[in-house]
A = this chain, B = another copy of it.
């Protein structure tokens, strides 16, 4: 009666959702205070005050027919002008209003981009670990989803694995830095090698291999580590951006696609993005929120709170003997599961009311992800639980050795 793939997407809950629902249940049972829920990447800090101010100002001063009316499919032209001006100044690009297409957030940016690019037989490569929805978006667009195995040493890019993953059918590579679930931003050399690799394979296969950069966490870069605007590094780049995290507006669904203007035929790629948006029922990005974010390009939520959370959690868990990846940004800590099975470890953690996501759905086994976009005091209160969990895991390992 229905499309079986869509039924599956709508019926099979992700590990993250499952754990989060378990958290709701536990909170109802034992109280909010005693559940240490690290399951969801849901921003916990408020939007900057300017968001509420702009909302009120727009509601009070702008003609509602203009404020709530359809904008151009690509977004209001004045909003796009403001955004492009900001991007060009910030990243030394020379983009125009005809290179940016406003969307309902990074998820829609990605889904639209993948639908715009996919021709029969196409494959897209994601570098593990990756945000699990990439597989859903890619397969729904009709392309094959290919995993490039993780660099488990630094969680940057293992180019031997990347070479194995790429072939003549590869249409693009999806990257996501700062990364969900590791928080890592690869170093400059790694990113430049990626650009060189893409140049090389594009030439070898006689067609461009696109770099699709998923950037909801761009501003969550705590030590201001080198993170280029990728159109400057590699011509065939498409940037999928969201304001969700920088401005703490995840529910408002506002972001953009930027198609680099540095390659021949970029106008066609942009047109295909517009066409895919149209065909998928995206008429325009929400009109009031377009204006709000365009007025908030130079403010952000108080991201220092996440940095503080990171420092406390990372340092404490390291001290307890956990094997943690240092997160340059985003709001995730990726921890090697002391037990061989991350599922078992995640289950064990529930005993201590710690909700941590096993890594399987991120394309790698044996790790857990902790989303630290939570109140700092919750992190502090949870530390004894992590200590006890580690001790129990160590005991299990020791017992099993005997």
Q: Which of A26-34, A37-45, A221-229, A323-331 interfaces with chain B?
A: A37-45
Shortest A1–chain B CB gap in Å is 6
Task: State which of B5, B7, B251 has its C-beta within 8 Å of the C-beta of A71.
Answer: B251
Shortest A248–chain B CB gap in Å is 6
Q: How far is the CA of A288 from the CA of B247 in the complex (A)?
A: 15
Shortest A242–chain B CB gap in Å is 10
Q: Who on chain B is nearest to A273 by CB?
A: B10
Shortest A4–chain B CB gap in Å is 7
Q: Is the CB of A208 within 8 A of B119?
A: no
Task: State which of B2, B55, B252 has its C-beta within 8 Å of the C-beta of A59.
Answer: B55
Task: State which of B43, B108, B276, B285 has its C-beta within 8 Å of the C-beta of A65.
Answer: B43
Given contact pairs A65-B45, A208-B1, A286 touches B289 in the complex (Cβ within 8 A) = yes
Interface 1/0 per residue, A15-51 and B, CB below 8 Å:
0000000000000000000000000001111110001
Given contact pairs A268-B7, A273-B10, A107 touches B283 in the complex (Cβ within 8 A) = yes
Q: Is the CB of A137 within 8 A of B281?
A: yes
Q: Which of A110-118, A154-162, A179-187 interfaces with chain B?
A: A110-118
Tell yes or no: A279 within 8 A of B by CB.
Answer: yes
Tell yes or no: A388 within 8 A of B by CB.
Answer: no
Interface 1/0 per residue, A79-109 and B, CB below 8 Å:
0000000000000000000000001110111
Q: Is the CB of B68 within 8 A of A51?
A: yes
Q: Who on chain B is nearest to A267 by CB?
A: B11
Taking CB atoms, residues of chain B closer than 8 Å to A252 are 68, 286-288
Shortest A169–chain B CB gap in Å is 14
Tell yes or no: A153 within 8 A of B by CB.
Answer: no
Q: How far is the CA of A1 from the CA of B208 in the complex (A)?
A: 8
Q: Which of A7, A10, A118 has the most CB of B within 10 A?
A: A10
Given contact pairs A118-B3, A272-B6, A281 touches B104 in the complex (Cβ within 8 A) = yes
Task: State which of B45, B46, B278, B280 has its C-beta within 8 Å of the C-beta of A281.
Answer: B280
Shortest A266–chain B CB gap in Å is 10
Tell yes or no: A371 within 8 A of B by CB.
Answer: no
Tell yes or no: A8 within 8 A of B by CB.
Answer: yes
Q: Who on chain B is nearest to A285 by CB?
A: B253
Shortest A252–chain B CB gap in Å is 5
Tell yes or no: A303 within 8 A of B by CB.
Answer: no
Taking CB atoms, residues of chain B closer than 8 Å to A281 are 103-105, 107-112, 137, 280
Q: Is the CB of B42 within 8 A of A280?
A: no
Taking CB atoms, residues of chain B closer than 8 Å to A284 are 251, 253
Given contact pairs A11-B275, A69-B251, A286-B286, A115 touches B64 in the complex (Cβ within 8 A) = no
Task: State which of B60, B105, B140 has its C-beta within 8 Å of the C-beta of A280.
Answer: B140
Given contact pairs A10-B275, A137-B281, A283-B253, A119 touches B2 in the complex (Cβ within 8 A) = yes
Task: State which of B11, B68, B272, B287 has its C-beta within 8 Å of the C-beta of A10.
Answer: B272
Q: Is the CB of A104 within 8 A of B265?
A: no
Taking CB atoms, residues of chain B closer than 8 Å to A105 are 281, 283
Taking CB atoms, residues of chain B closer than 8 Å to A104 are 104, 253, 281-283, 286
Q: How far is the CA of A279 from the CA of B139 in the complex (A)?
A: 8
Taking CB atoms, residues of chain B closer than 8 Å to A112 are 281
Taking CB atoms, residues of chain B closer than 8 Å to A63 are 46
Q: Is the CB of B3 within 8 A of A116?
A: yes
Task: State which of B47, B117, B249, B250 has its C-beta within 8 Å of the C-beta of A2.
Answer: B117
Tell yes or no: A395 within 8 A of B by CB.
Answer: no
Q: Is the CB of A65 within 8 A of B52?
A: no
Pairs across A and B, CB under 8 Å, 11 listed? A1-B207, A1-B268, A2-B117, A3-B275, A10-B272, A43-B69, A47-B64, A103-B281, A133-B278, A253-B284, A253-B286
For the complex of A and B, list the 5 residue pairs with the smallest distance between their C-beta atoms, beginning with the closest: A10-B275, A251-B287, A111-B281, A9-B275, A140-B279
